[in-house]
Structure 1
């Protein structure tokens, strides 16, 4: 809640919203989070659950430990256990639908957009445990699930996704140097705008055709590292280049060391920029975990999504959409103002 912009803060303040904070990893806390308090108190709630058949129409699980570079036990609890707790409670309250946000990092292929029935070969820890969640949800009796697989999410308010790359591009503007990236510009990095994540969640819940289905939610950009980098180069007036496959492969000899060196090169200038522009406290960072820099192609087909009649609100990533992200952070005092000038 501390880092929300004014629009998101106002959404939580809406009279229709009841906000509750709970540790969903703990079964008891999770159960309490599903409790619906209305006039009449707890006894009335129990009667309603018995007569009506539950309290919630939709249970949408957006919660998960998505920070890269954590240990197995952290993901075991923060992804697998958390999701199963929520799914279990959804069955108990006889929810009409349980929707799980998963990841599209399930199978890497440069040439062919991967459909939902692709081989499950996740290359990130989050992907590994989200794959386990998907398998477990299918096995839960009476769970009316729908699974949405997401690529890289971006949009106003998102601090992960593309934001570290945006920050790094700004740093190279400050340094007056060429931004040189691992691998090549052809590496697939498919994206989806947060408005389409929210829009697809709601629309796909409105039809029984999506019951017990897994669906990729991806835009039409067919984005690559090159496309995204070109937009950033245009936005910050910098030059870009690539190390290429041969040189990048050499980092595998000491991937952790190479990534540490890259992060060290960025963290110092970022601190200088924040100090110069009076950014006193920011959740933003240029730090990138090595998982985010693997030579893997995030390449998804959105054919199934469109078969349900969904029309993308933001079909293609643009410079203007990236500038919206930065301007919002500037307005909140989280991003150096002079970088966008």
Structure 2
């Protein structure tokens, strides 16, 4: 059987580096090209990720530029890319509409258009489950769309545009909060906040209640699903990705209590509803509370540079449930290997960064 050639757009990021490792270790491809504006040598890759990157082709590319996109999609010897995995796009919260329009919507549409033009077999778009209406009941693929972050808004706009691109064979994945080795913005800020409260020797309390849904999925399951749908899902298929744990704030806090030996709790509805009236100020206050102790802790442990931060954007501090039904993909033969977020999953994240002296040993 001839192995495929694959192109990973935004492949140096969190999901991308794990996908590279997955494809390399399982020897699934003939040729792998990773395109990103970030150099692997400056991206804080763990050893396994760095070893995998040594076996693939890296190309630095600006995916807002049509000329750069054309170059990224071109293979020599008359070959083509069979599968294109789109993990590119702005991932930082708190940016402007203009930034997300250019770096999510435009990038996705331009790359998908090029994919159709050169005749790739399948284009896999990794979107987000934040596109769904915020509610406690888990959203299925056909449920109401009401994106509650700007990233999700422009991801969904891009999803819709894919339908209009002639000749494009695409599949869309909508993961819940993704965690695992290399995570900096999923569960990671809560983990770092837990370390801060251990350092301060104080009780850690979050807004809202423990029942606020923060459904999760391990990055290895996301990578497995990306490959699974590339091989078999029909054109235009949409699948959610979420584990069986139905993770909420209480579950995350219980894990953090075990990892850091701290006490945790919640401010409850009265305080939280008052906070909602001036969420910007509350968010600034929380970040001010956490940022300096984190910096002090890192300096104390000899860490002078780290990509990790307890900073949380106002969008993520709102009372929005992320409840996702990830079972539909299982009907296609897919199986989750990580059924729920556990203490071990939290420790795996910490150990990934501690091995690079990016997270303090506490």
SS of residue in 2 equivalent to 1:248: helix
1:156-213 deviation per Cα after TM superposition (whole angstroms, max 9, x unaligned)? 1111111110000011111111101000000110001010010010112111x43211
Residue of structure 2 equivalent to 1:191: 216
Residue of structure 2 equivalent to 1:32: 71
Quick check: 1:110–1:187 contact (8 Å CA) kept in 2? no
Output the CA distance in 1 between the equivalents of 2:333 and 2:244: 15
Residue of structure 2 equivalent to 1:40: none
Q: CA offset at residue 252 of structure 1? A: 2.3
5+ residue gaps, structure 2, are 1-39
Output the CA distance in 1 between the equivalents of 2:285 and 2:228: 44
Output the CA distance in 2 between the equivalents of 1:18 and 1:175: 45
Quick check: 1:101–1:147 contact (8 Å CA) kept in 2? yes
SS of residue in 1 equivalent to 2:238: strand
Q: In structure 2, which of residues 131, 136, 155 is the aligned counterpart of residue 106 of structure 1?
A: 131
Quick check: 1:108–1:299 contact (8 Å CA) kept in 2? no
Output the CA distance in 1 between the equivalents of 2:72 and 2:104: 17
Residue of structure 2 equivalent to 1:20: 59
Residue of structure 2 equivalent to 1:282: 306
TM-score, normalised via structure 1 length: 0.92
Q: In structure 2, which of residues 70, 83, 92 is the aligned counterpart of residue 67 of structure 1?
A: 92
5+ residue gaps, structure 1, are 38-44, 49-53
Output the CA distance in 2 between the equivalents of 1:125 and 1:57: 31
| Cα distance change, pair 185–108 in 1 and its aligned pair in 2 (3 A) | farther
Q: In structure 2, which of residues 108, 128, 153 is the aligned counterpart of residue 128 of structure 1?
A: 153
Output the CA distance in 2 between the equivalents of 1:111 and 1:260: 27
Output the CA distance in 2 between the equivalents of 1:56 and 1:153: 27
Aligned residues: 321
Q: CA offset at residue 109 of structure 1? A: 4.6
SS of residue in 2 equivalent to 1:56: coil
Output the CA distance in 2 between the equivalents of 1:210 and 1:272: 51
SS of residue in 2 equivalent to 1:183: coil
Quick check: 1:235–1:319 contact (8 Å CA) kept in 2? yes
1:127-183 deviation per Cα after TM superposition (whole angstroms, max 9, x unaligned)? 110110111011111110000001110001111111110000011111111101000
Alignment of 1:149-228 (within 5 A): 149-207=174-232, 209-228=233-252
Alignment of 1:79-90 (within 5 A): 79-90=104-115
Q: CA offset at residue 303 of structure 1? A: 1.9
Alignment of 1:136-155 (within 5 A): 136-155=161-180
Output the CA distance in 2 between the equivalents of 1:320 and 1:150: 21
Q: CA offset at residue 96 of structure 1? A: 0.5
Alignment of 1:6 onto 2:6: no
Q: CA offset at residue 70 of structure 1? A: 0.2
Q: CA offset at residue 290 of structure 1? A: 0.7
SS of residue in 2 equivalent to 1:149: strand
Residue of structure 2 equivalent to 1:256: 280
Q: In structure 1, which of residues 90, 111, 117 is the aligned counterpart of residue 142 of structure 2?
A: 117
Residue of structure 1 equivalent to 2:326: 302
TM-score, normalised via structure 2 length: 0.87
Output the CA distance in 2 between the equivalents of 1:64 and 1:277: 33
